[in-house]
Amino acid sequence: MSAPNKSYDPVEVEALKPENIERMRDEALAAFAAADSLEALQEAKTAHAGGTSPLSLANREIGALPPQAKAEAGKRVGQARGAVNKALAARQAELEAERDARVLVEESVDVTLPHDRVPAGARHPLTTMMERVADVFVSMGYEIAEGPEVEAEWFNFDALNFGPDHPARQMQDTFFVEGPKGPGGTDGGSGVVLRTHTSPVQARALLDREPPVYVVCPGRVYRTDELDATHTPVFHQIELLAVDEGLTMADLKGTLDHMVQSLFGADMKTRLRPNFFPFTEPSAEMDMLCYVCRGESVGNPDRPCRTCSSEGWIELGGCGMVNPRVLTACGVDPEKYSGFAFGFGIERMLMFRHNVEDMRDMVEGDVRFTRPFGMEI
Ligand code: FA5
């Protein structure tokens, strides 16, 4: 039997005494329990479970013990540290759960509260309608052409074969940009007008390009009309011009049919009635089958149609073969080329396509009118 180890004196290692280890553990547990926030718990953790905490320092003392005492001291300190870490993790979880519950309440959003956010607007249906019509032709290879709204009288009238005395030139119909009397006392000596239709873009397109020319021209136009349910002094037209070799009225009719079928359905059709425009010859008024009754209201008193007044057709606008005089004025050889053109009002189309009864609703800027059309892009 070996003799007792004289160098082993447990009394000398104060920190490792069982009662001291227990006290350190209890102080740590009490500090964790007292921590009422995650910040306070972090401080308690540093003090009681950090690298310089009493238990860690005691742990370091174990190395100085004689081998036979190390196991017992190590077990005691290890158990105490285990209890401390367990209590720390439990308190941490508790405080985090409390914080999460508090955040959920404090940061919750009452979606039923009335709000004062500015409601989203909507594009004006005239814009979307114009784009939709133009898209029909762009998909056929037509190019979009534009011209100025403040236009030279020459483009608006002269190039389009309006005679110098044509009534449309009069101040009762046309806004002249400057109003001094012209030579001989005629109105509109300035030679500059607010364009009265999109047809001047025909002349501009022909002067800018070599045939073949296929253009679609949407835009705003001005006339001295009073604002009422079916007229506005500022309105929108869309114009189509095709100039190529061998174009005929049949091409015009086919193009019109394709347009109304794209916009209103595959069973739609158009009809032409003789008319006069100085810049087309022959000229016609173009009608489309009433998109509401499809012509079924005609002679049928049991099925009256308000949209077409039971006539079965709706007037769309004007059209015709480009007058050779216009081609000549724009430097195009009428012996070689022919063309067709048509133009119609977007406001009127919006009226019958969406049952808008009063054109004034389109110009007042009230979102209650535009919103139901939705946000089309
Ligand atoms: C013209 O303006 C011709 N430039 C159309 C044309 C183009 C004919 C190419 C031949 C070849 P008109 O004056 O009829 O034609 O007007 C065309 C359309 O504009 C009318 O059918 C109507 O829908 C619309 N419109 C005319 N005046 C007004 C107005 N004051 N308010 C709203 N829309 C109007």
Q: Tell me phi and psi for residue 346, to 5 degrees.
A: -75, -35
CATH number of 125-373: 3.30.930.10
Residue whose CA is at the smallest distance from ligand 1 atom 24: 345
> In this predicted structure, what is the pLDDT of residue 167?
82
CA 106 to ligand 1 centroid distance, Å: 62
pLDDT at 357 over 90: no
pLDDT at 366 over 60: yes
Comparing 221 with 314, which gets the higher pLDDT? 221
> In this predicted structure, what is the pLDDT of residue 9?
52
Q: Where are the domains of the chain?
A: 14-104, 125-373
* Rounded CA separation 159/161 (Å): 6
Comparing 246 with 191, which gets the higher pLDDT? 246
Average predicted confidence (pLDDT) for the chain: 89
CA 183 to ligand 1 centroid distance, Å: 30
> In this predicted structure, what is the pLDDT of residue 132?
93
pLDDT at 95 over 60: yes
On whether the CB atoms of residues 13 and 71 are closer than 8 A, the answer is no
> In this predicted structure, what is the pLDDT of residue 373?
83
**Mean pLDDT on 75-97:** 93
Of 137, 235, 247, best ligand 1 pocket probe by most atoms within 8 Å of the beta carbon = 235
Residue whose CA is at the smallest distance from ligand 1 atom 23: 345
Which three-class secondary structure state does DSSP give residue 282? strand
Closest CA to 196 of 279, 126, 254, 272: 279
| 281-294: pLDDT as tens digits | 999 999 999 988 88
Which three-class secondary structure state does DSSP give residue 339? strand
CA 356 to ligand 1 centroid distance, Å: 18
| 173-212: pLDDT as tens digits | 899 887 645 554 455 466 899 999 999 999 999 999 999 9
Say which range, 115-129, 181-195, 230-244, has the weakest mean pLDDT: 181-195
CA 317 to ligand 1 centroid distance, Å: 6
pLDDT at 5 over 60: no
Closest CA to 190 of 200, 198, 182: 182
* Rounded CA separation 185/170 (Å): 12
Residue 166 confidence class, pLDDT cut points 50, 70, 90: confident
pLDDT at 11 over 80: no
* Rounded CA separation 66/101 (Å): 52
Say which range, 9-23, 32-46, 86-100, has the weakest mean pLDDT: 9-23
Of 344, 349, 352, best ligand 1 pocket probe by most atoms within 8 Å of the beta carbon = 344
Find the residues whose C-beta lies inside 6 A of ligand 1: 197, 199, 223, 225, 231-232, 235, 237, 239, 277, 280, 317-320, 341-345, 347-348
pLDDT at 13 over 60: yes
Of 126, 133, 174, 237, best ligand 1 pocket probe by most atoms within 8 Å of the beta carbon = 237
Residue whose CA is at the smallest distance from ligand 1 atom 22: 345
> In this predicted structure, what is the pLDDT of residue 188?
47
Which three-class secondary structure state does DSSP give residue 46? helix
The reported pTM is 0.69
**Mean pLDDT on 219-229:** 94
Query: For residue 176, what is the DSSP state?
Result: B
CA 134 to ligand 1 centroid distance, Å: 17
pLDDT at 3 over 70: no
Q: Percentage of residues in the chain with pLDDT exceeding 70? A: 92
Residue whose CA is at the smallest distance from ligand 1 atom 26: 345
Spatial CB neighbours of 297, under 8 Å, sequence gap ≥ 6: 290, 303, 304, 305, 308, 310, 311, 312
| 252-310: pLDDT as tens digits | 999 999 999 999 899 999 999 999 999 999 999 999 999 888 899 999 999 898 888 89
Residue 333 confidence class, pLDDT cut points 50, 70, 90: very high
Q: What is the DSSP string of 149-194?
A: SEEEHHHHTGGGT--TT-GGGSTTT--BSS----GGG-S-TT-EEE
**Mean pLDDT on 60-74:** 84
> Would you give the distance in Å from CA 371 to the centre of its chain?
13
Atom of ligand 1 nearest to the CA of 316: 21
